[in-house]
Structures are given as structure tokens and as C-alpha cells.
Structure 1
Amino acid sequence: MSSQLTGQRRGEWLELMPGKLPLPASGDRFEAALGWLEGVLGLPPKLQRMLEAEQGIKLAGDRLRLRLFPPRTSQYEPMLPEFPLQILYEDDFCLVVHKPVGVKVHPDGQSRQPTLANIVAAIYSERGEHVAPEHIHRLDEFTSGPVLYAKNTYAQLKLDAAMARKEIGRVYVALVQGTVSPALRVIDQPIGKDRHHKSRRRVSPTGQRAVTHIELIEAYPAASLVRLTLETGRTHQIRVHMSHAGYPLIGDALYGGSTKLLSHQALHGESLSFAHPLTGETLSVSDPWPASWEALREQLQG
């Protein structure tokens, strides 16, 4: 797909200007448009079939229109949070929001507390917009940071595919116990379920490949601040890898961390990068470190 590709939203429709399309042997302009949508726009075949069936593809002169923004209702109940949700990035296709500590990404049927899904649904309910964003990835309940949402089916299919190809970059920062050696740059250890504890994961020869890249930012007398980049996205990957290496996250009782200074793991998503589903432009969205970490770092320095 061209990195310069742009379109204009007109209500429920995206208007594109593909230019003069080479006609196939049949001379059918619509067939030529379908070829352009597949080869240049990278329109997922599943969505193309759906749009064709619903007459959601229209040719008008040199303009090509796709009905990518039909009204949708979220499957999640709108629930307003105690504090306003911070939107880090938004356009017609993507939404990135800050997930606070202690908020789940989506309901699990065990709690009536608002989840990120409920709060995002409330944003569009309050605006009176018929949009039902779907999350592309997750964060643990007590990990803060940016979460990426797709605002329509086209964006969801493109971003899900990018996630599967490991093309969505995620960078984290963590406060860990012990002084991490600057020589520790990567942990490449498979992760599987812990058969003795249903909530835990562990390094296991029979697990899935997991790779975490590590950069030491600050060293304290008995702790370290590290930046971690995921090459894979296994459940609890950072927590498992750092604990296995002998540096459990501060506050992470599940993996051997002390809760003396913090009641939950000191892990935060620092940034998220991805190719925009329409334009192909690389977007990098940052999420500032938690304000509470400043006092925590001072304690660790002392």
C-alpha cells in the first residue's frame, strides 16, 4: 500500500481518488476498482466481500467510495469512570487511550467496576457518535499505558493482521528489584502455563517462544529502572522474564516481587507504534510515566 494514500471521510463513506485505473481485458471499470482496492489499498478480502454484498463500494467518475463508517453500537455497557479517560491519539480509524492502574481492558463477568471497554463506550455515547471501537491488544489490570483501538471493521482487520505479524511496537518501563547488569540486553526464553498456579506463567522448554529486549536506564542501591521492548507478546511476558532473570518487578507478588513500596507491579507502557491502517504512516504514541513513580524513584535512590 502506498504510504501517501489518503482519503476523505464523507459521512458513512470514505472517498478515495485512485486516479486513472488500467482496465482489465473485460473493460469493466468496477473490476478495475476491485483490483486497485486489493493491490493498492490492501482491502482485506473478507471486508471486500461484505462491502460488495451490501453495495458498499461505489464508483463516481474518478472517485471511489467505500462505506467504512456504518453506525455501530458497542457490545459493552457505557460506564463513566471516576476520572476522565485520557485520549492519547484519535482519528476516524484509530483510538489510543491511557489505561490507568487497576482498570481491566474488558469485562470478565466477575466485577461490576467499569473496564476500559465500558469507559470507551461511554465516550462515544456521551458524544452521540455510533462508534464501537475494539481493542487490538491488552494490558494486565495493574499495568498502566496506552491501549490501541480500531474504530471500524477496516481498521480492525488491518491492525489485527499487523499485530499477528508482530508489527505493532510496544515499549515498557519497569522498576525491578536488584541491580540489573548493563550486559543483560535480551531474554530469549519460552513461556508456558504454570500447572501449579492457574494465574501464573513460567519459563518452560515446552512453552511458546518469548523475546524481551532490555535497556538499563537507572541503577539504585538495590533496584533498577529498565526499558523493555517486546519482540513477542506472551501473557505476563515481562513479569515472567524479569523474575526468571532474578529481577522481579517491584510490587509483583505473583512473581516474587516485594509489595513493601508498591502494592502492584511497577510496569508502565511507555509508547506504542504502528502503521496507520489507511495511510501506512508510522505513528508513535507516548504515554508519560506515572506521576507516583517520581516519589518511588527518590525512595529507591535513598
Structure 2
Amino acid sequence: MIKTKRFGEWFEIIVPSHWDGLSIDSILREKWSAPKKLIHSMSMEKQIKVNGEIINWHNPLVAGDKFQLKLFQEANFDVIPEYHEVEVLYEDDHMIVFNKPAFMDTHPNSLHDETNTLANAAAFHLLAKGEIRKVKHIHRLDRDTSGAVLFAKHQLAGSLLDKLLEERRIKRTYLALVHGKLTLKKGTIQEPIGRDRHHPTRRRVSPTGQPATTHYELLETFRKEDLSLIKCQLDTGRTHQIRVHLSSIGHPLAGDLLYGGRPIINRQALHAAKLQIPHPFTEKLISCYAPHTQNHILDNFFKDWSHKL
């Protein structure tokens, strides 16, 4: 694990042995793939030092050097902060994970009008702590899906977390309650997903769609109710991916009327129960477990599975 420390607006990384010989430029551009605009801004504003000094960005660093970045300046919220009771699963100086309730959008469609989304709650949470930050969601959940959602608290963290998600190093595990009894204990669905031209919001398996991969594993079968509890992990993050894929194999989510589920509950039975993140700066693996406590019917099926995944 890489040793780090915060000093006010500055963040300090003790250069680890596996960074020995790298330059500031190579860390920003190659290792971190930071945006060019951000790199230029940090250079012009002299927001990077080594051992307290401004140095040539092409000079090699030595293990043990203090690599210092000015990351924690105030930045105006781009959404309206508003209080909502939302559980925080993990938080540090760079990122925050919330347990999103069902029936809440991840972010507003209109930044200046909507205030009832998770992004608004995130902004209020930081404001209450005296942190003025332009928070950014790294991934999203459907409005009716509950569970863990990751936000970045500054621009460089957002860029690094985006890269980790793209490289499939951030692992998302879902609990899903589906109709029917699964014949296979484990399986992988690799079917491209595209828009359904006959419906404004529905997606479907389509040969011309985007590649999508969902892995699933049977956890428990409820014979009396003709339901199965499964866990799903995604290699891709297409809109409605789990819902479309499970419906395509004849096991739609309970409550998911859009994709063939029956209305035994008032929403699709899908919960983002676990999120694993290799920390973008320390490289420590952060594991977040999101308890499900919002729907008594689903609670009976999900039980304590969130902590067993």
C-alpha cells in the first residue's frame, strides 16, 4: 500500500519503490491517464511539488520522495445541495460511496431544477461538513435499483476512478430476485444490448447493440414462490443490462414489468450489494457492503446475503 497524507489543500504521496525512476509527467500522463486540460492547469498553477520544491516534470523521482499535489481547492457544486437521508458506506478525501435508496435518481436531468437525486444528497452531505466540492458520480443505478454508488470528490480522483471502471478493476456485485428456478448454478450471458425501436426506454438483446457480459450465480431457490435469488457481476455497464440479460434467458426480475416480471413487489428486485474499489492513490482494496433495508418483502429474500458476497 502506498503511504499518503493530507496537509490542508495539499495531498502528499510517499513515492513507492515501484515508482522509482518515474517522472511527474509519466505518472500523470501514462500511469494515471489524467486529462490534458487538468495536467495543463496543474502545471500553470504550480500545483505539484516534490519535497516542497517546484521541479522539472521530466526529472526522475526516487523512492521515498514526497510527491505533493494541490487537490483540495473549493469548487462550486454543479447541483443544488438538498438534504436526503442516505447512508454513507465509505468516505475519504477523494471518494465517497452511498447506499442509494430505491425510487431515487442517481443524478438530475436538469441541474438547476431537480433536487431529489443522490447527487443533490451528496452535495448536501459535503456542504454540511464544510467541503465545497464538485462531486461526480462514477457509475449510476436505475431509479428503482438500490445499493452502492461511487462518487469522486475532486477532478483527479474522478479521472482515476473512471479509468479503473473502464479497465474493469472496480467490481460491482448485485443481488437479484428472479422468476423461475435456474437450471444452472453458474453462468455467463454475453449478448449485445441495444435500444428497442418500439419503446422509448426499453433495451433489448440485439446483434447490432453494444457488447455486454453478465456473470451470475445461484444463491438460493424459493420453490413455494417459484423464485431464485442470484448474484450478478458485470464486465460492462450497459443501460438495464442485468434486467435485459436475465429476461433474455427466461428469468426476468421480480417486479420488473418492463421486462416481463410479475408485480409481486413495487419495483424490480435488484440491489447493488457490494462494491470493490482499488484505491486510486493508496492502491488498497476498498470493499463496501450495502445492506438492504427498504422493502420488507425483499428483505425476507435478501436477508444477510449482502455481507456474504
TM over 0.5: yes
Structure 1 residue 182 displacement after superposition: 2.6
The match for 2:88 is 87
Structure 1 residue 227 displacement after superposition: 0.6
Counterpart residue type for residue 116 of structure 2: P
Structure 1 residue 44 displacement after superposition: 2.2
The match for 2:177 is 175
Q: TM-score normalized by structure 1?
A: 0.86
Structure 1 residue 34 displacement after superposition: 2.3
User: Is the contact made by 2:106 and 2:140 (CA closer than 8 Å) also made in structure 1?
Assistant: yes
Counterpart residue type for residue 225 of structure 1: L
The match for 1:159 is 161
Distance 1:178 1:109 in 2: 39
Distance 1:69 1:237 in 2: 36
The match for 1:224 is 228
Distance 2:302 2:15 in 1: 53
Report matched runs for 1:92-241 at 5 Å.
Answer: 92-109=93-110, 112=114, 114-221=116-223, 222-241=226-245
Structure 1 residue 249 displacement after superposition: 0.5
Distance 2:257 2:20 in 1: 62
Q: Deviations over 1:14-71 (max 9, x none)?
A: 1233389989xxxxxxxx8525744897472623322111111123265432111111
The alignment-based identity, stated in percent, is: 39
Distance 1:52 1:156 in 2: 19
Counterpart residue type for residue 204 of structure 1: S
Aligned residues: 284
The match for 1:49 is 40
Distance 1:19 1:230 in 2: 32
The reply to whether residue 34 of structure 1 matches residue 24 of structure 2 is yes
Distance 2:138 2:149 in 1: 8
3-state DSSP class of the match of 2:72?
coil
Q: Which runs of 5+ in 1 are unaligned?
A: 24-31
Distance 2:114 2:102 in 1: 17
> Which deviates more from structure 2 when the two are superposed, residues 61-70 or residues 12-21?
12-21
User: Is the contact made by 1:7 and 1:16 (CA closer than 8 Å) also made in structure 2?
Assistant: yes
Distance 1:247 1:128 in 2: 47
Distance 2:33 2:160 in 1: 8
User: Is the contact made by 2:136 and 2:152 (CA closer than 8 Å) also made in structure 1?
Assistant: yes
User: Is the contact made by 2:48 and 2:69 (CA closer than 8 Å) also made in structure 1?
Assistant: yes
Distance 2:31 2:213 in 1: 32
User: Is the contact made by 1:124 and 1:131 (CA closer than 8 Å) also made in structure 2?
Assistant: yes
Q: Which runs of 5+ in 2 are unaligned?
A: 54-64, 304-309
Structure 1 residue 290 displacement after superposition: 3.4
Distance 1:253 1:44 in 2: 42
User: Is the contact made by 2:81 and 2:115 (CA closer than 8 Å) also made in structure 1?
Assistant: no
Distance 2:23 2:147 in 1: 40
Distance 2:16 2:273 in 1: 40
Distance 1:112 1:17 in 2: 42
User: Is the contact made by 1:89 and 1:285 (CA closer than 8 Å) also made in structure 2?
Assistant: yes
The reply to whether residue 5 of structure 1 matches residue 10 of structure 2 is no
Taking only aligned residues, the RMSD between alpha carbons, in angstroms, comes to: 2.5
3-state DSSP class of the match of 2:280?
coil
